[in-house]
Structure formats: structure tokens, C-alpha cells
Structure 1
Amino acid sequence: MPTPSGPTPGTASSPTQQAIASAEARSAHNYHPLPVVVSSADGAWMTDVEGRRYLDMLAGYSALNFGHGNRRLIDAAKAQLERVTLTSRAFHHDRFAAFCEQLGDLCGMEMVLPMNTGAEAVETAVKTARKWGYRVKGVPDGEARIVVASDNFHGRTTTIVSFSTDPEARADFGPYTPGFDIVPYGDATALEAALSDRTVAVLLEPIQGEAGVLVPPDGYLRRVRELTRERGVLFVADEIQSGLGRTGRTFACEHEGVVPDMYVLGKALGGGVVPVSAVVSSAEVLGVHKPGEHGSTFGGNPLACAVALEVIAMLRTGEFQGYAAELGDHLHRELGLLVGRGGVREVRGRGLWAGVDVDPALGTGREISERLMERGVLVKDTHGSTIRLAPPLVVSKEDLDWGLDRLREVLAEG
């Protein structure tokens, strides 16, 4: 079984420290990365500049669902690189129609609007919902409202942080975009009370990732679907982190048998190779867009479509979803044994995705992440003493158990 090896990272004047110092001198400090400098990766493992190997238990916030250097995805990218990588949407290209058709079929929907990043896709969903509200629902111009949930994370553009409740994401970026009503996540009664004749959409994460992998109460998504149908409101599901196999289903909404009006997709759609995102919906909804009203030079480019088509083909088999469900059950059983007696206060999540609340007496989430890094496991903290576990869907049970053993060691340290 692969195990970490190589010199201890971060020693004085080491390649790690030199690389970190150089990066911090010349880049904006908008992230606080762990002190590791990755130089190569394969499957569920990464290697740093000093030859030390680490088990990746974050998978690029679900962008790497299919692992690092997935051969099918790399081959698809290489083949397309030799042909054409960009045309802009000023011209058609020969991968675009297949991408739209096959992604639409995967989602059970009619139309696709491709973008690049997740935040761009959320912005596209917001613009689409508003335009639909004016053109189809008949909301007076400039009065459309969208209901969102507290503790959400949909990106970091100016409009998106306008409805964030996270001070770090929101502070000092005003003035903020109006038109959003924030209700507690998981509270269907509060959501119902917030709906009005000006509401055009409800925008939710089926599972809130950045908030600590928060799973809503059973029946919540079904009630949201009922309310939005009754009130003529679009249900927009942000499945950027939760979708494409992560939770053991193609989409997290499937756990409640719910189909939204609009999927917002990203991260894993690009296979960790290129940024690919998309809004997928009906012809009635996406049909409100006319030429020149919204677009992206790189959105739906040939290279992105080639990689995404391979991702879609891999998901169509159900293999990755089934594996994530099976190994996810094992992950949650093992983590559950730590609750109350192993330094863990609570575990949440579905499939190969877990939020682990560590007893603050053992350290902050950052401190726990650093201790795991020293043992060859890479995770990331969020909100105090919470860490997120989201290994690639290609991780072996043996490697996953090895990583969980390292977590037990860290928790046992006290």
C-alpha cells in the first residue's frame, strides 16, 4: 500500500519553504493554504517538491471526483489539444452539440448554457431566473426576488456575496446587489413565508459544502419542490460540489427523489483538467435568452466539451455513483464510531463526503488539518473546528482506511 515517504516538509531553507516564501511575496493573500507544495499527483495521491506523498482527502472541493491524472480524461484532453481548443461562441464547433445533448440527457433536461467556473454558472442562473420572471411569470421589471439560504456558499462574485451570511466572504465588498431574501437553511416554514408574487426562484445547495457538509432535514427538499411548484417559482439546485457522483447519486437531489427546475453544475464536470460549468434546464426557462444578452468567450469551448463529454460517459455507467455510495457507507460507519468518544462531536454528509466537527479542546480545524498533513493526509478546515473529508471517488478502501487511521492518531493525541 502507498505510504508517505521523503524528508520532513518545511525545514529551514527547504524547497517547500522557498516555494511558499516566493508565492507569498508575489501573490495576493486571498487563500491560506496548508504549508505543502505539490509537484505531481496520481489517483488519490499527491507528491510534494521534496518527494513526500500525501493522501488527498479533499479532491479539489469535488473538482477531482475522478482522481488526479485520470487516464480517460487526460487522453480526451490530449486528443482535443491536437485538433482545436477554442473557437469562441462566434462559430460552431464539432463537440458542442454532443456536449449539450449528453449533459441535458444526464440531467433529464432540454437545454444547456455552458460557462467556465461555478460562480459564473450561479451568476448565469440568477440572470436566467430574473429574465424568466419578467418574460414568463410577469413580474414587474426590476422587482424580481430570489430566496436563498443562510450559510450558503455559491461563489465570490459581487452579486453572490451580496446574499452571503459569511462575514469573511461579504465584508468590505459593498454596495451589495439587492433582490435576495435569506431564510434559515433547512427551514421549509420560513422559506414558505418568504415567497411572494415577486419571487422568481429559490436557490439552494442540496447539501451545504462550505458550511461544513450540512445535510438538510429529511423531506426538506421535497417540500421546497412542492412549494415552488405551487407558487410558480423556479427551484434552482446548486450541485457544483454535491453533484456528479459525490454523494453516491448523480445528483444529491436524487436522495429525496426531487428534480429541480434548474441544475447549476461545475467542478467535477471539468474532471480536474479544465474549468467547465453549466446551467441545465428546460427550453421554457433557458429559452428566454437571446443572442447578445449573455455569454462567455471560453464557455463551451472545444477542449472543455471534450473533457466534459468523457466525464458524462463515465457517469452514465453508474460505476462511480455506486462506488461512492458503498465506500461512503463505510466512511460514515467508521467516523460514527468516533462520535462522543473519539474526539468527534458530530459527523454529517452523504457518500464520500463528510463534515467532521472535532472537539475544540483538541484544536481548531486548521490545527487538525496541519497535524494530518504532517502524517501524510490532506484535508481542509471550515468554520472553527470542522474539517471536510472528500476523497476522490477512485480512492481504494485500503487507502481510505489508512487515512482514517491517521485521523484517529491525531484525535488520540489530545
Structure 2
Amino acid sequence: MSATETAIASAEAHSAHNYHPLPVVVASAEGAWMTDVEGRHYLDLLAGYSALNFGHGNRRLLDAARAQLERVTLTSRAFHHDRFADFCTELAELCGMEMVLPMNTGAEAVETAVKTARKWGYRVKGVPDGMAKIIVASDNFHGRTTTVISFSTDPEARADYGPYTPGFEIVPYGDLTAMREAMTENTVAVLIEPIQGEAGVLVPPAGYLAGVRELTRERNVLFVADEIQSGLGRTGRTFALEHEGVVPDMYVLGKALGGGVVPVSAVVSSAEILGVFRPGEHGSTFGGNPLACAVALEVIAMLRTGEYQERAAELGDHLHRELGLLAGGGAVETVRGRGLWAGVDIAPALGTGRQISERLMAERVLVKDTHGSTIRIAPPLVISKEDLDWGLDRLRTVLSA
């Protein structure tokens, strides 16, 4: 067997089959390119679901990690460390907020946001104990914990994990009327993705997010924005909500915050909202560890320049212009997205999203499918225009074949 076949066979034999990876085995990577165990080069148009916004092996991030590795990597929150205050202060400033509650993974941050909203509802809003409700959108993806899949509408994510956590109301994404009708005096929060990534990079109707902000403010309900995939430069702005001039009550961040080096996530909000926690009521051994803070501080410094947001906006315009030329020609039905992020609905007659992804892999381009015949395109923000065009040429080749 080849080195690829051997590695895949071993993985299949000894790891749970909770993923169905493309049959490529990556050994190294740099920028927007990955190299497999047999020396073949592939253009990465997925960027770890936005965790690799700044590319593979980013020198600034690796240097920050190396320097911290030589000093201290973990103290637990039992003690202070010298990177924690700077991380919290600078992330809060980047978000225009006051306080940060650091965690590790995106799912942990969403769980933290849910707990925060409920505790705020009981201690500040005055909702009767055990009665708090959170409104979410259909087709959402906020993670895979038991609580989070309890309000998923995806059968694959939800099936066979009951009994499910109560306290959530699901309304259609983009439907402000349905959200208004679902609100009661016990509603404590609305939790939504400004753009639904896993659902196929769904962008809501113009004015929807501003309408959610107005409605939540009017009804004394927290607007919780899950910007784990859409945030930190992906859409051409630091946050996707900025496209509608909206500031939520709470940001939920992850993925790109760790620069593809370490898992880093956080809930960022006001002192009034995050101030509901008292010592011992919520925590994480690794959340806010020195290594994570060092890397995230470098991510924040890079975002402050605005160059990555500007690059995502400019290359994103080019990406959507080129993809738009494919739409309506029989091979591509619809293209959606914003910035360097696109969901491309392939005509089912050409194959499933998985099949298209496999054909692109044969052309040395890596993407990932979702929901039938949809593929997602989300390259690292550092990709060159020439490499992006090369990848788009490979897509045209696959579609024309």
C-alpha cells in the first residue's frame, strides 16, 4: 500500500468514524498550500473552517507561540499569569466591549454564552427560575455538545442523543416576524450566526440583523452573535455584523482567534452581563492559558492593522465576481456569501458535493461539501490572487468535465 493508503487504513481501524475526511493525508503546510505524505501539493480552500484565516505556519503566530513555550504554557486559573490581563483587555477593545470570558473551543464558548444569558435572565432581568428561553434559528450550527444539538434542526447532528435540553425556541432564519412572535417575557436571548456557515454560507436578507438588534433592545433581550466562523476578518470586516452596522450584546468567538495554532475561544460582552458570574460558577482549566493568550494577542495585533479585512474584501469581490460568472450556466445553481467565503450550489446532475470535492482533490484543490450538492470555499486570507485564480480554474475544469 502507498503511504496515503496505509495512513488512512490505520485511521479507519483505530479512530471513531465521526468524520468522513477526503482521502488525503497532510504532512506539512505553509500559507494557502498543504503537502501530503507523498509530496503532492494541494491548494487549501477551506482554511480549517476559518480557523486558519492567517494561513498555515504563519511566522508571526509561530514566533509568538515559540517564545511563550519557552516561558510558561499553563497555570490554570488558580493563579494569574502575565499574558492574561493583556489578552482580555485587548480582545475587549477589539470588540468594543468591556469583559472577556476565555474558553478553548467554539462549542465551549457557545455553552458559556447560553449559561451567561440564562444567569443574566434570572439575576438581572428577573425571569422566574427555570423558565428562561433562548431563541435560535433553524439550520443553525453552534457546535456538538448535548445542549447545542438540542436546538439543532440537522438530523445527523441531533439523532440518538436525547433526552434533549429544553429552553430553546427555533424560528426560521431570516424571518423577523417569526422571531417577534416567539418572544415572551421569559425570553433572555437570541442566539444566531450572522452568516450560517455549515448550512451553506447562508446570508440573511438585508436589514434582518439590524432588525434583530432593534427587536432585542426593545424587548430587553440579549443579542448573542456567534461569530466563530464569520468573525475576525473572514467577510471583509472584523465582524460580519459590521456589514449592517450592528453591535450585539455578546460576541461568541473561536477558530481564527487561535490562529490555527492552539484552540482559543471567548465570550466578549459588557461588565453588566459577564459580571453575573461569581468565583466557582463557571470555568475551564485550559481556558485563557498563557500559550493561548500569547497566540491570540498576536492575532488581535494583526487584525488591528486592518490589512487582513481589506484583503478579504478585495479578494472576496474577485471571488464572487468569478463564481457569479459560473452561476446560471447549468453547472452552478446559486452562489452565496460575503468576503472570502462562498457557498456554491452545484447542479445535482453533476454530482453530490462530496463527489465534486473528490474531483477537485484530484485537481489538487481541497474544499468541503455540506448539505447535498453544496461546496464551501473559504481560503486563508493570505492567499494570493494568482493562487485563488488557479483554484477557480480547477473548479471550472471539474464543472466542465
TM-score by length of 2: 1.00
The whole-number CA distance in structure 1 between the counterparts of 2:50 and 2:72 is: 27
**1:277 alignment partner in structure 2:** 265
**1:195 alignment partner in structure 2:** 183
Paired residues in the alignment total 401
Alignment pair present for 1:399 and 2:387: yes
1:400 CA drift (Å) = 0.1
Alignment pair present for 1:127 and 2:115: yes
**1:170 alignment partner in structure 2:** 158
**2:93 alignment partner in structure 1:** 105
The whole-number CA distance in structure 1 between the counterparts of 2:229 and 2:279 is: 30
The whole-number CA distance in structure 2 between the counterparts of 1:173 and 1:330 is: 42
Q: Give the secondary structure class of the aligned counterpart of 1:148.
A: strand
**1:138 alignment partner in structure 2:** 126
Choose from 233, 240, 261 the match for 2:249.
Answer: 261
1:58 CA drift (Å) = 0.1
Q: Is the 8 A contact 1:245 1:320 kept in 2?
A: yes
Choose from 119, 137, 144 the match for 1:149.
Answer: 137
Q: Give the secondary structure class of the aligned counterpart of 2:248.
A: coil
Alignment pair present for 1:92 and 2:80: yes
**1:19 alignment partner in structure 2:** 7
**1:186 alignment partner in structure 2:** 174
Q: Is the 8 A contact 1:270 1:277 kept in 2?
A: yes
Alignment pair present for 1:31 and 2:19: yes
1:306 CA drift (Å) = 0.0
The whole-number CA distance in structure 2 between the counterparts of 1:27 and 1:168 is: 19
Choose from 20, 28, 35 the match for 1:47.
Answer: 35
Choose from 353, 360, 370 the match for 2:348.
Answer: 360
Q: Is the 8 A contact 1:342 1:408 kept in 2?
A: no
1:320 CA drift (Å) = 0.1
Q: Give the secondary structure class of the aligned counterpart of 1:40.
A: strand
Alignment pair present for 1:63 and 2:51: yes
Q: Which moved more, 1:108-117 or 1:335-344?
A: 335-344
The whole-number CA distance in structure 2 between the counterparts of 1:174 and 1:38 is: 36
Q: Is the 8 A contact 2:330 2:347 kept in 1?
A: no
**2:205 alignment partner in structure 1:** 217
**1:316 alignment partner in structure 2:** 304
Q: Is the 8 A contact 1:206 1:242 kept in 2?
A: yes
Q: Is the 8 A contact 1:342 1:412 kept in 2?
A: no
The whole-number CA distance in structure 2 between the counterparts of 1:351 and 1:14 is: 39
**1:208 alignment partner in structure 2:** 196
The whole-number CA distance in structure 2 between the counterparts of 1:258 and 1:231 is: 17
Q: Is the 8 A contact 1:342 1:411 kept in 2?
A: no
1:190 CA drift (Å) = 0.3
The whole-number CA distance in structure 2 between the counterparts of 1:193 and 1:54 is: 48
TM-score by length of 1: 0.97
Q: Give the secondary structure class of the aligned counterpart of 2:326.
A: coil
Once the two structures are superposed, residues 311-341 of structure 1 have per-residue CA deviations (whole angstroms, 9 ceiling, x without a partner) of 0000000000000000000000000000011
Q: Is the 8 A contact 1:111 1:280 kept in 2?
A: yes
- Paired AA for residue 170 in structure 1: R
Q: Trace 1:348-387 onto structure 2 (pairs within 5 A).
A: 348-387=336-375
The whole-number CA distance in structure 2 between the counterparts of 1:191 and 1:365 is: 32
**1:3 alignment partner in structure 2:** none
Once the two structures are superposed, residues 259-315 of structure 1 have per-residue CA deviations (whole angstroms, 9 ceiling, x without a partner) of 000000000000000000000000000000000000000000000000000000000
- Paired AA for residue 117 in structure 2: A
1:342 CA drift (Å) = 5.1
- Paired AA for residue 167 in structure 1: P
Q: Is the 8 A contact 1:213 1:388 kept in 2?
A: yes
1:246 CA drift (Å) = 0.1
The whole-number CA distance in structure 1 between the counterparts of 2:391 and 2:282 is: 45
**2:278 alignment partner in structure 1:** 290
Once the two structures are superposed, residues 88-142 of structure 1 have per-residue CA deviations (whole angstroms, 9 ceiling, x without a partner) of 0000000000000000000000000000000000000000000000000000000
